[in-house]
Chain A
Amino acid sequence: MKGIVFNLLESFVCEGWGEDVYEEILDRCPLHTQEPFVGPGTYPDADLVSIASATAKHLGLSLPDALRAFGAYCLPHLVGSVPDLVGDMDTPEKLLLAVDGVIHVEVRKLFPKAHPPQFAVRINPDRTLHLEYRSERKLCAFLEGLFDGLGDHFDRDIRAEKHACMHDGSDHCAYTLQVSARAVESKAPTASAGAGLG
């Protein structure tokens, strides 16, 4: 996992619950990495899961809920880190359609050793999106948080209906995404099927 995600997790905890909480969490985590995380670095996925699990425990949340909240937090930061690539993408659909073919291509150029997840996205006849997610990390809860953040970023409601999950034995997670204008009192979008790490 790239260091930028670890840094975002640190910011997520520090901004929400204070720097001392993050230090406490970090002190309690058995990490493979002994040095500080830096954005361009690549670190074991287990370290992220370890910090995320400790954070969830500390905050009294389930790991999937913690990852989902973290995903929602990350989206605007990730989009903001690649303004040249996403400048023309003015809808969630455009951005989702470009993740695999544009954004991850650029990620691989910058970090040849990176292993970004695979996304297959297509537009259904009813204008909803069909999205398939494949990753050894199986971070579908984090992905669902990204959907939440994407809705907030574009001020849209995104309803994600999950049809398949890698945690249930499938080789991918599949979603139908319905993007609509945000109702004034709408709640944050939710995945209709169970989501989580495990």
Chain B
Amino acid sequence: MNPELLSKKLARAQQRVGILERMIEEKTRELFIANEGLRELIDYQQELQHVIPGALLVVERDQQRIETINESARKLLGVDPDASLEKQDARHYFPAFDDFVEAQEAPGASRHPRETHWHTADGREVPVLVSVRLLPPRAETPAKVVLVGVDLTERKRLEAELRQAQKLESIGQLSAGIAHEINTPMQFIGDNVSFLESAFADLLRVVDAYEAIRLHRGERKAMRDELKEAVEEADLDYLRERAPRAFERTVAGVARVAKIVRGMKVFAHPKDEQSAIDIQDAIETTLTVAHHEYRYVADLETQFTPHLRVVGYAGDLNQVLLNLVVNAAHSMKDRKAKGKLTISTRADNDVVVIAIADTGTGIPEEIQHRIFDPFFTTKEVGRGTGQGLTLAHKVITELHGGRLSFTSKVGEGTTFFIHLPMAGAARGAA
């Protein structure tokens, strides 16, 4: 190689080294700035994590290990602020983690928050509303799941209070009718008791006359006359015929009143434990309480499949039935002819289906999609708060894992269907 070419190449090589050194410096500076930016971003993100009121968990998707937990989550899960949760199995606190995430990964899965339960460090179950986002794997990091949970304990308590308040409100609204329902048997109980009181006095007089003859007190003829008169006045044949009926009707009246009172008690009782519920009993109790609401506007027809039982909250379920029966009655009130209220029950595999059908005005198609919305009502002011069907929907779907649906045609009527998992069937069957 000639010296001129060699020196040219050497000069170019030196120039290249200089350029590369500059580039390295520039890249180093860029890296430093990028690092600073990243650090700032991490600080900001950490502050954000701890300041949000929601409980934040970032979990490694495949290993289910907790990667990040914020202060709200520690508080919610009852974990010591200094305890290290990182790398712990998320399923310890969120047993349904896998199912929950799989449901989220399914095509077309809703991105709306969903209710579930987390477990605290001391084993308590906490209802939470969880938002979830899936972070796909990147070159250096595995797939992650970001969960933000909101504690629903207080909301659940308030909802329970609201349901109880609504029950009491219903009792209040029905009270005039219930008073009438109680008053009718009380009237004939009173009449019968008066009759029996006078009958008893007459009988006592007869008994006294007999007693006088037996003990030979006074003049015999006068005693016989007295007895004859007492027997005639008592009208023993009449008493023999009427007194047993009076007793019977009194006992029936007392039973009727007792049934109404028992029904009201079931409604008003704030019992919040699950129990096995006989569906026919529940419907009959509801019909007892609501009798005054429908008796003048509709004839009742029931078709019960006996011995259908569900596990649930009796008071809340009765409230749903009452709302639907009262709504049915109201929808028939404005019709000229007396309507028909048909209540039937049947088993469909592991599901109990209750159908409540009326021949009322029906629900116009344009508002059918809104009837379960809170505060939506078509009733005049003072007659409906728009909470009944919302609560009914919540009680059936959320408390009992069932479904509430309806079909309706304007001018022909509406049928509501309650689908509930049969006692002993796996949850979710409805």
Contact = CB atoms under 8 A, between A and B. Distances in A.
A41 B12 contact: no
B295 interface: no
B222 interface: no
Interface residues of B, number: 12
A36 B23 contact: no
Contacts of A185: none
B20 A19 contact: no
Interface in A23-56: 23, 35-36, 38, 40-41
A20 interface: yes
A186 to B, nearest CB: 38
Given A40-B23, A41-B23, A35 B5 contact: no
B12 A36 contact: yes
A30 to B, nearest CB: 18
Contact of B19 (A19, A20, A23, A36): A36
Interface residues of A, number: 8
B194 interface: no
A19 B8 CA distance: 11
Closest 6 CB pairs of A and B: A36-B12, A36-B16, A36-B15, A38-B19, A38-B16, A38-B20
Nearest to A7: B16
Contacts of B2: 20
A20 B9 CA distance: 10
Contacts of B23: 38, 40-41
Contacts, number: 23
A41 B19 contact: yes
A40 B20 CA distance: 8
Interface in B280-306: none
Contacts of A40: 20, 23
A-side interface mostly: loop
14 contacts: A19-B1, A19-B5, A20-B1, A23-B5, A23-B8, A35-B15, A36-B15, A36-B16, A38-B16, A38-B19, A38-B20, A38-B23, A40-B20, A41-B19
Interface of B: 1-2, 5, 8-9, 12-13, 15-16, 19-20, 23
Nearest to B13: A36
Contacts of A36: 12-13, 15-16, 19
Nearest to B15: A36
Given A19-B9, A20-B5, A36-B16, 7 more contacts: A19-B5, A20-B1, A35-B19, A36-B15, A38-B16, A38-B20, A38-B23
Contacts of A38: 16, 19-20, 23
A38 B21 CA distance: 11
A36 B16 CA distance: 6
A19 B19 CA distance: 22
Contacts of A23: 5, 8
A36 B8 CA distance: 11
Nearest to B6: A19
B17 to A, nearest CB: 9
A24 B308 CA distance: 100
Interface string A13-26: 00000011001000
A35 B15 CA distance: 7
Contacts of A19: 1, 5, 9
Nearest to A40: B23
A35 B1 CA distance: 22
Nearest to A34: B15
A23 B8 CA distance: 9
A41 B26 CA distance: 12
Nearest to A10: B12
> Which of A19, A20, A36, A40: most chain B Cβ within 10 A?
A36
A35 B19 CA distance: 9
